[in-house]
Structure 1
């Protein structure tokens, strides 16, 4: 178990039992796929008035980090409250394994279901369909007919795999929002709120966008002027960086010119980059509008003061910065994502925090907020002490992993993000987790990796401190050191 506890036990106990059983609130969990912190409330360029408004009554975690920068492991870790090493999960395949041991390791929805909550899933919550009993839903999860692409006009050819088949990297369609799969997901979540308003519920709504392909109706594209779209920085690969995960180029499954896919040798040009970023922002604004519809319904039903609301993204996404059009790296652009939490507290005002927090903290936070006993398997901590203003931070580092690809299938990165640095150890799992390479980046409070300084003789103290935190947080490494 990779448990990291850094706060006094009294605070954790306070976080577990502050709600009386009779006053247990509901839970609304909004998951957004591949959303990096481009929201207005994060200082980003995307136009997101609904989530910005929500942030005014929530706690916005400026430095939230996922456990793995890919959909399957990230969602499994969040829903299961455990780290990738515990699940032995380092890719999308097998991500349903989080539900395999419901008695020993109940998922978050299952814990709520076992405590009398109606648990419902709409759209993309787990990466898998999530239809088995261990996933914890009260009835079969609902998914939009369009599937994960959400294409409206373009239809993928039946009977053919995505590999090598041309498909557009974005689709801006001229038609009503209702044609979009994420709109339909919001419809289902709204209906569920109406039907379950008088009983305890745990409702999860997951939007597929802004995951590739970037799909939105035309009115969201028109929110942005061409001159507003700027390439994201930095545009260079970090100096002396290890590239074990750089072979994953998600954009190469798509193209802009009919019949022509992007390739590692033919990546988006500057004009194409502007169009792609424009489309990503449009898809982000579309997702914001759907989240806003659900949040407005919550208010209309007078459930705001009875419901804990979480807005979360499973990881970020490179938009040409660091010469990447994908996730799946050890860098900030992939590991950092939005997290906002609102608990029912009268007079609460929006607040931002730079505390280092992780996706594995969401499970214990929601369980504690609803007065549920925390299962012993959890590897995160409740964030209620931060949300309630009792403490400024709970841990000195956030822990993330990523796996090497293609020519490096045995390479596994163990990474930590401290207040100022990102430290990474690349280990060969086929050779007893032998340490192969290290990386160290000075990021400041919020920044991007530009130069690996692990070989800088002036960084000895920083490296020693990071190694100590690494050993404290990863029990897998404790066994091999």
Structure 2
């Protein structure tokens, strides 16, 4: 201590002794959500995808090769991630239920950061898109651009002036600026907000809508690709022996005016849709790059945890399906990248089985916060130091049939992904009676072309996997030391 006398006033100055380290500043969190993004990215080995900004983030972080959502449709998946609870706890299995109906006092992920002194903000789609899905207690200020109007999806008069349903063309290719669509506006708003909140610990959630249908993107992103060179679906039939419960009629896509109501799509339309998906993905990559570059310009990058995730995967004609809403690998597997200050392993991949429900405890622990009670995921923080250590033996997803309902589903498909297999039981939701089973051997059949659950030689395997499914997620998580 030093005691100084200035003009008769005693001033006490405290200082840190030489060599003593100051406690590190609390890390910020940049929480990037992308809707309907499958692992069709350069950093996941896609040879065609033009995603330089996401690739750059991956080079400074960790790519999780085996990350899975808990239910492959927007509202249930996001409710699960944001509360750290699984769908049967949130009681959200459809697009019309708010998680606070079943869990009115639950503390969401951003809410928990807010309770611990963080300034929490949301731009774009973080929860579900409609206005009723907002959750004001999660944030320090009202959400920005949380609801998408028709003009956010389309810019061309031919699409904007369609009567009836808002669904017009399934794709839109327009010679417009990035900000003409909602995601360009979201990116711009995030860049502007960073300057406002840079001087306090923040949790900034930025949610992008594309590549969700319609596949709308400005002309330059379409020009990145030669449609004739884009990969077409490798397997377009339903899996052999798959139960009808496992499939659907691609209703989400069928509602667009340029898509036939039934039957296979013309080859030209298949190519156009795949081109649109790639273009929309590159458009989102550019928006993500804008936000991260601003973070770097402000000198905040080194003290910010960045996580990029998608709420679920997507079918682009594989299995004869379009969109999501199944328990197949293409719908449940998601891209997940984490880059954190002081992360020991960067530019590497982990094959550990992880789940979106794990993000709540992971981010809380990375920020030095005590984990709250009631979370149903496992912190992935140890994997950031040692990505190859023993980890979960399974990841769990589920999907109901029918899934558009008012109270609760009749049948629930519970799906288990191990290192080698995907096993699914379709159970009567009330009684638990098994109506149908699926088993896919990913060592021999990564495209899930044949359901082998009915084969005699799989009886023992079915018994073991069924028991693992019955034990649930807690039984799949070993003690992490």
Query: 1:77–1:84: 8 Å Cα contact kept in structure 2?
Result: yes
Secondary structure, aligned partner of 2:316 = coil
Query: 1:50–1:288: 8 Å Cα contact kept in structure 2?
Result: yes
- Sort the Cα spacing of 1:94 and 1:158 in 2 relative to 1 into closer, same or farther, 3 A: farther
The TM-score with structure 2 as length reference comes to 0.87
Matches within 5 A, 1:367-382: 367-382=364-379
Structure 1 partner of 2:254? 252
Tell me by how many angstroms 1:200 deviates: 0.4
Match of 2:57 among 39, 49, 54: 54
Match of 2:70 among 64, 67, 77: 67
Matches within 5 A, 1:59-138: 59-97=62-100, 100-102=103-105, 105-128=106-129, 129=131, 130-134=133-137, 136-138=138-140
Tell me by how many angstroms 1:425 deviates: 0.5
Query: 1:76–1:98: 8 Å Cα contact kept in structure 2?
Result: no
Structure 1 partner of 2:293? 296
Secondary structure, aligned partner of 1:23 = coil
Query: 1:98–1:107: 8 Å Cα contact kept in structure 2?
Result: no
Q: Tell me the matched-pair count.
A: 445
- Sort the Cα spacing of 1:330 and 1:361 in 2 relative to 1 into closer, same or farther, 3 A: same
Query: 1:310–1:342: 8 Å Cα contact kept in structure 2?
Result: yes
2:433 is equivalent to residue 434 of structure 1 = yes
State which drifts further: 439-448 or 403-412: 403-412
Tell me, in whole angstroms, the C-alpha distance in 2 between the residues paired with 1:322 and 1:98.
35
Query: 2:125–2:146: 8 Å Cα contact kept in structure 1?
Result: no
Tell me, in whole angstroms, the C-alpha distance in 2 between the residues paired with 1:334 and 1:289.
24
Match of 1:262 among 251, 260, 271: 260
Tell me by how many angstroms 1:75 deviates: 0.5
Match of 1:39 among 38, 41, 49: 41
Tell me, in whole angstroms, the C-alpha distance in 1 between the residues paired with 2:343 and 2:410.
51
- Sort the Cα spacing of 1:406 and 1:28 in 2 relative to 1 into closer, same or farther, 3 A: closer
Structure 1 partner of 2:185? 184
Query: 1:67–1:359: 8 Å Cα contact kept in structure 2?
Result: yes
Tell me, in whole angstroms, the C-alpha distance in 1 between the residues paired with 2:117 and 2:396.
33
Structure 1 partner of 2:477? none
State which drifts further: 463-472 or 359-368: 463-472
What does the per-residue CA deviation read over 1:372-413, in whole Å, with 9 as the maximum and x for residues that have no partner?
Answer: 111111000000100111752420000000011279951110
Tell me, in whole angstroms, the C-alpha distance in 2 between the residues paired with 1:95 and 1:158.
30
State which drifts further: 461-470 or 183-192: 461-470
Structure 1 partner of 2:269? 272
Tell me, in whole angstroms, the C-alpha distance in 2 between the residues paired with 1:202 and 1:446.
41
Tell me, in whole angstroms, the C-alpha distance in 1 between the residues paired with 2:176 and 2:387.
48
Tell me by how many angstroms 1:442 deviates: 0.6
Tell me by how many angstroms 1:160 deviates: 3.6
Tell me by how many angstroms 1:158 deviates: 8.3
Query: 1:247–1:406: 8 Å Cα contact kept in structure 2?
Result: no
Q: Name structure 2 gaps, 5 residues minimum.
A: 1-21, 475-481
- Sort the Cα spacing of 1:51 and 1:407 in 2 relative to 1 into closer, same or farther, 3 A: closer
Query: 1:150–1:215: 8 Å Cα contact kept in structure 2?
Result: yes
Query: 1:331–1:448: 8 Å Cα contact kept in structure 2?
Result: no
Match of 1:320 among 309, 317, 322: 317
Tell me by how many angstroms 1:123 deviates: 0.6
Query: 1:249–1:324: 8 Å Cα contact kept in structure 2?
Result: no
- Sort the Cα spacing of 1:53 and 1:446 in 2 relative to 1 into closer, same or farther, 3 A: farther
Tell me, in whole angstroms, the C-alpha distance in 1 between the residues paired with 2:423 and 2:214.
32
What does the per-residue CA deviation read over 1:421-459, in whole Å, with 9 as the maximum and x for residues that have no partner?
Answer: 0000001124x1211111100113992211111111212
Between 1 and 2, higher relative CO (CA 8 Å, sep ≥ 6) is seen in 1
Tell me, in whole angstroms, the C-alpha distance in 2 between the residues paired with 1:368 and 1:456.
44
Tell me by how many angstroms 1:229 deviates: 1.3
State which drifts further: 148-157 or 286-295: 148-157
Query: 1:419–1:445: 8 Å Cα contact kept in structure 2?
Result: no
Tell me, in whole angstroms, the C-alpha distance in 2 between the residues paired with 1:98 and 1:117.
26
Query: 1:169–1:255: 8 Å Cα contact kept in structure 2?
Result: yes
Tell me, in whole angstroms, the C-alpha distance in 2 between the residues paired with 1:228 and 1:345.
41
Secondary structure, aligned partner of 1:109 = helix
Query: 2:110–2:139: 8 Å Cα contact kept in structure 1?
Result: yes
Structure 2 partner of 1:25? 27
Q: Name structure 1 gaps, 5 residues minimum.
A: 1-19, 476-481
RMSD of aligned Cα (Å): 2.4
Tell me, in whole angstroms, the C-alpha distance in 2 between the residues paired with 1:140 and 1:459.
53
Secondary structure, aligned partner of 2:153 = coil
Tell me by how many angstroms 1:348 deviates: 5.0
